[in-house]
Structure formats: C-alpha cells, structure tokens
Amino acid sequence: MQAGFALVIALLAFIGITLAKGIRIVPQGEEWIVERLGKYLTTLQPGLRIIIPYIDDVKYKVITKDVILDVQEQEVITRDNAVILTNAVAFIKVTDPVKAVYGVTDFSEAIRNLIMTTLRSIIGEMDLDAALSSRDKIKVRLRESIADEAVDWGLTVKSVEIQDIKPSASMQVAMEQQASAERERKAMVTRSEGAKQSAILEAEARLEAAKRDAAAQVQLAEASAESIRRLTQSIGDHSAPVSYLLGEKYIAALHALGESDNAKIVVLPSDLQEAVKGVFGKKV
C-alpha cells in the first residue's frame, strides 16, 4: 500500500517536472536559444512554447531590448603626445540572437572593448585641440568603425555617445600655464605696440614742431630782411636816422635792465657819454 502510494507520488512528480521542462513561456523582449543534445535547434520567440523535455535544453536567454553599455574612462594619447581622458556609452540591440551567442563569447564585453580600442585609434590621429572640440565627429567615426564588426556578432549599434573628453590632470596644469604664458605674450605685444605708436607719434610731433619752428624762423628772417631793405631805401646814405634808432634801442635796453627785480647793481658802459653824443649828434 505504501509502496503504491510512493510510486504514484513519484509518477506525479515526474510528470510535473516533465511538463515544466517541456512547456516554456518566453517573456516579451527576450528570445531563447534551444539546443538539442548540445547542438543548436531553434530560437523561441516570446509567448507559450513547447519543447521536448530532457532532449531539448534552453541554453541561452537573449535580451532583444536595447542594451546600454557603459564604456569606462580611459587615457588616450593624441597625435601631439597629449594625454586626455575619455569615456562613452553605447546603445546596442541584438538583431540575430544566434550570432550573438555563437559568434562571440560575450557580445557586451566584446563591443565595450571594441569601442575602447577604436576610440583610442581615432583620437590618436587627432591633435589635442581637435580632439577636445570634435566630439560629434569622433562619435560619427566611432559608430561607423564598429558597425561592421557588430553586424558579424548579430548586433546593431544604434548610437555611441561620448560622455566626457577632457585633458588629464597634468595636461590641465600644462594647458593653464600655456594659456597664462600666451596671455602674457599678448599683453607684452600690446604694450610694445602701444609704446611703438607713442614713440612714432612723439617723433612725428617733434618733426612737425621742428618744421613749424624752421618755417617761423624763415619767415622771421625774411621779415627782418624786408625791414632792413625798406629801412635802407628810406635813409639812403644818411647815417643819423640809423644812429638814432640804435641809440633808442640802447636806452630802452638799459631802462629794462634797471627795472628788473633781480637787478641790484646796474653796470653802465664806460663810453655811455660818447654813445649818447653819437646818438643825438651833440654834446651833453
């Protein structure tokens, strides 16, 4: 009696396990790879599916929704030997589950390493300034470069975004020093240019002043010459008017000398009387 009951329990358990192994419900967004005796048999689509228990085995459960892959930060050397840090994020989708599981050991890790390698190669062909300012260009080239490899693995690369691209800590210090030196150089150039323009303007001012002074002296000389010419024409051969004019200027000069605040002693020439006689033409 007990043996028969145990047999029934065992039979029911066997049937339950057999049904559980044979009836499978594949959730939406997944596809299951089934192998029969170790060989690929079929791919189960979402929904209720039946397989042969103990012979068929669900070997892989592949997610067909978009997969987000985070590519860790890495150091990259540019063409001009600058070290920058960059990381990325990729959005991929499994379009052929068979190739994804049989074409590569781990398609997520394969794509991640492919992106890192390709990113180093692309940035290595660029100068530092170009790498820092060409994020969109790098993204397009990166996606195009890995697209063919991804297809061989049953994947579609929907997008690759460069999350961050920046100089390393040591490069930031060097760039700040370079920027400071460049600003100082520009300031020195500006100051030098200002000093140069100032010197040019001063020299032009001195030249213009010298020209005007020379012109004034020429005009003064011409005026004096004209005055002498007219005076000569007026007095002819008579010397008395000339003596009178010279005496008048002589007396005016002595008068100005006597009225000066600094003049404590006025020195008169010894021939003052003779000079006066000559001026007035008579005895004094």
- Residue 183 inside a domain? The answer is no
Specify the residue for token string 């060409």.
134
User: Which of the four pLDDT bands, split at 50, 70 and 90, describes residue 244?
Assistant: low
- Residue 190 inside a domain? The answer is no
Q: Are residues 55 and 72 both part of a single domain?
A: no
State the Cα–Cα distance between residues 235 and 244, nearest whole angstrom: 12
State the Cα–Cα distance between residues 186 and 70, nearest whole angstrom: 43
pLDDT digits (tens, 9 = 90+) for 100-115: 999 888 888 999 999 9
User: Which of the four pLDDT bands, split at 50, 70 and 90, describes residue 214?
Assistant: confident
State the Cα–Cα distance between residues 81 and 125, nearest whole angstrom: 11
More confident residue, 130 or 239: 130
- Residue 221 inside a domain? The answer is no
- Residue 151 inside a domain? The answer is yes
Per-residue pLDDT at 245 = 61
Sorted by sequence, the CB contacts under 8 Å of residue 143 that are 6+ apart come out as 157, 159, 160
Q: Are residues 85 and 31 both part of a single domain?
A: no
- Residue 257 inside a domain? The answer is yes
Per-residue pLDDT at 272 = 54
CA contacts within 13 A on the Cβ side of 261: 0
State the Cα–Cα distance between residues 135 and 143, nearest whole angstrom: 12
pLDDT digits (tens, 9 = 90+) for 200-209: 888 888 888 8
State the Cα–Cα distance between residues 24 and 18, nearest whole angstrom: 11
Question: In Å, how far are 86, 93, 256, 276 from 271, measured between CA atoms?
Answer: 105, 125, 19, 9
Q: Are residues 56 and 83 both part of a single domain?
A: no
- Ranges of beta strands (E only) in 64-189 are 67-77, 83-94, 155-167
Per-residue pLDDT at 34 = 92
- Residue 223 inside a domain? The answer is no
User: Which of the four pLDDT bands, split at 50, 70 and 90, describes residue 283?
Assistant: very low
Find residue 44's DSSP bridge partners.
32
Q: Are residues 134 and 82 both part of a single domain?
A: yes
For the residues 171-186, what does the mean pLDDT come to?
A: 73
Q: Are residues 55 and 74 both part of a single domain?
A: no
CA contacts within 13 A on the Cβ side of 200: 6
Q: What is the DSSP string of 141-156?
A: HHHHHHHHHHHHTTEE
Percentage of residues in the chain having pLDDT higher than 70: 77
Number of domains in the chain: 3
Per-residue pLDDT at 46 = 92
Task: Determine the Cα angle at 232 with ends 226 and 238, to 5°.
Answer: 165
Q: Are residues 159 and 240 both part of a single domain?
A: no
- pLDDT at residue 284 tops 60: no
- Residue 91 inside a domain? The answer is yes
pLDDT digits (tens, 9 = 90+) for 60-101: 999 999 999 998 888 888 888 888 888 999 999 999 999 999
- Residue 204 inside a domain? The answer is no
Q: Which domain holds residue 128?
A: 67-173
User: Which of the four pLDDT bands, split at 50, 70 and 90, describes residue 234?
Assistant: low
Q: Judging by beta carbons within 10 Å of its beta carbon (0-12, 13-18, 19+), is residue 12 exposed, middle or buried?
A: exposed
Question: Which of 47, 63, 79 is the C-terminal boundary of a domain?
Answer: 63
Tell me which amino acid residue 175 is. Answer: M
* Residue in 32, 153, 159, 155 with CA at minimum distance from that of residue 95: 155
